[in-house]
Amino acid sequence: MSKAAVKQAERSPGFEASLERLEALVKEMEGGQLSLEKMMAHFEEGMRLVRVCSARLNEVEQKIEQLVKKGEAMAAEPFDPGSLPGDAAASEVRDGDARGPM
């Protein structure tokens, strides 16, 4: 990691703190009590937090793939949420059957 990246990581809040703040912003925005200016400020902060969380998740995913590749007879495979036991709903959505109850 470069020195600039390390400094940026030190200044950025952690993943959990960013996610908690993002959830709080969304809750406030959904409440419908904010002025247009406050709503826009919340939206801008939320987008910044989404980028922080997304970058952190990508870093972790790459690190996991590297660790798995280093193991003997192991290979990195894309995660398939529909492959979890008892998760038929996720597999239906993934396969394009997201109609819901009729």
pLDDT at 100 over 80: no
Tens of pLDDT, residue by residue over 29-64, are 999 999 999 999 999 999 999 999 999 999 999 988
> What pTM did the predictor assign?
0.57
pLDDT at 94 over 70: no
Note the helical H segments in the chain.
3-11, 15-31, 36-70, 88-94
Tens of pLDDT, residue by residue over 71-88, are 755 566 677 666 656 555
CA–CA separation, 95 vs 82, rounded Å?
A: 9
pLDDT at 10 over 80: no
- Domain coordinates of the chain in residue numbers? 3-94
